[in-house]
Amino acid sequence: MRILGIETSCDETGIAVYDDEKGLLSHELYSQVKLHADYGGVVPELASRDHVRKIIPLIEKAMEDADTQPSDIDGVAFTQGPGLVGALLVGSSVGRSLAYAWNVPAVGVHHMEGHLLAPMLEDDAPEFPFVALLVSGGHSMLVKVEGIGQYEVLGESIDDAAGEAFDKTAKLLGLDYPGGPLLAKLAEKGEAGHYKFPRPMTDRPGLDFSFSGLKTFAANTIRDADLTGGDAEQIKANIAYAFQEAVVDTLIIKCKRALKQTGMKRLVIAGGVSANTMLRSEMKALMQELKGEVFYPSLAYCTDNGAMIAYAGMQRLKAGETLALSSQAKPRWPLDTLSAI
């Protein structure tokens, strides 16, 4: 079976063709980063319009690269939610129209299920059950995963998502949008021990996160720092290091707790922030210590992409799930309401 996957929930147009026997056949991505950079964040209306411009040429390219004709396609999967409503509508309109025209089922995919299953695209895919740490620009959550669609949310952010905290702190440090990867790069030049950021909500039981206080702590630290001298860049790098260390440490503490609570030894980390080098190496060390295993998507599939949507869509298509032509985009859509397959 072969499926076309479409991702348009935020500022990336991602298209992929996935075959359940041959694997991923093609994968196209257009990032709108430059379009939104001047505004310091995603402008929803501009995002929707740009998806409209890019989606068809990218689908044509993905089909061509996969040497695939419409008659070879058994279903069309698209991100149905959560995300920016205008952006979602582009993917869902095109996805459902193609499914109608090609006379195949349409499948609505939950964006976070896409992230959660992205490590399944790798050769060393994790087996169920596992604990998933999903850390993206819009969400931070710990999920107990027994199988596809069997999700128990153990904890989530009560305010900013981890990626959002990275982006906001990066902005305070004068870095461009989206600042997460730039802050991580700056932190590589930073030295440990100069600043000590808090580890929010680790001093009480529970698995929820709160990251907005870190951003405020960063704002105060930057305000109090003397950034007028020749060592300003080094000071900024030290602040970036301390911020990143605090986020990573907090995530480690919560993952450790979630593994203990569930009795599981397998951890999956996905979403944009899972591209973070420090997070990846610290989590690896943690799982070695706990004699468990950690799985990530490869870097290309950590941030938003069409491949994860095609993969998740394929699993639901094979389970016989299809979408009515009248179904709506879902800007808000709790992960634990998905059906088990």
Q: Out of Zn ion, ligand KG4, none, which partner does residue 181 contact, by CB within 5 to 8 A per kind? A: ligand KG4
* Alpha carbons 270 and 25: distance in angstroms, whole number: 22
232-262 vs 212-224: helix crossing angle, rounded to 10:
160
Binding mask 268-287 for ligand KG4 (x = CB under 6 A): ---xxx-xx-----------
Q: Is 111 one of the annotated binding-site residues?
A: yes
Token readout for 133 is: 């740490």
Largest CA distance in the chain: 66
Beta-strand relationship, 2-7 and 12-19? antiparallel
Q: How far is the CB of 30 from Zn ion (least distance, A)?
A: 15
The closest alpha carbon to 200, from 249, 140, 266, 144, belongs to 249
Options 62-70, 89-97, 158-166, 321-329: segment touching ligand KG4 (CB under 6 A): 158-166
> Which of these ranges, 21-29, 132-140, 146-154, 283-291, lies near ligand KG4 under the rule CB under 6 A?
132-140
> In this complex, which beta carbon is closest to Zn ion, that of residue 11 or of residue 208?
11
Query: Residue 112 is inside which H or E element, if any?
Result: helix 111-117
Options 30, 78, 102, 166; binder of ligand KG4; rule CB under 6 A = 166
Strand partners, 36: none
Residue 32 interacting with ligand KG4 (CB under 6 A): no
Which CB atom, from 90 or from 184, has the smaller least distance to ligand KG4? 184
Residue 243 φ/ψ, nearest 5 degrees:
-65, -50
- 3-class DSSP state of 108: strand
Q: What is the smallest separation between the CB atom of 21 and Zn ion, expressed in angstroms?
A: 27
Over the window 302 to 331, marking each residue x when it contacts ligand KG4 by CB under 6 A and - when it does not, the resulting string is: -xx---------------------------
Separation CA 301–CA 293 (nearest Å):
19
What is the binding site for ligand KG4 (CB under 6 A)? Answer: 10, 136-138, 163-164, 166-167, 178, 180-181, 184, 271-273, 275-276, 303-304
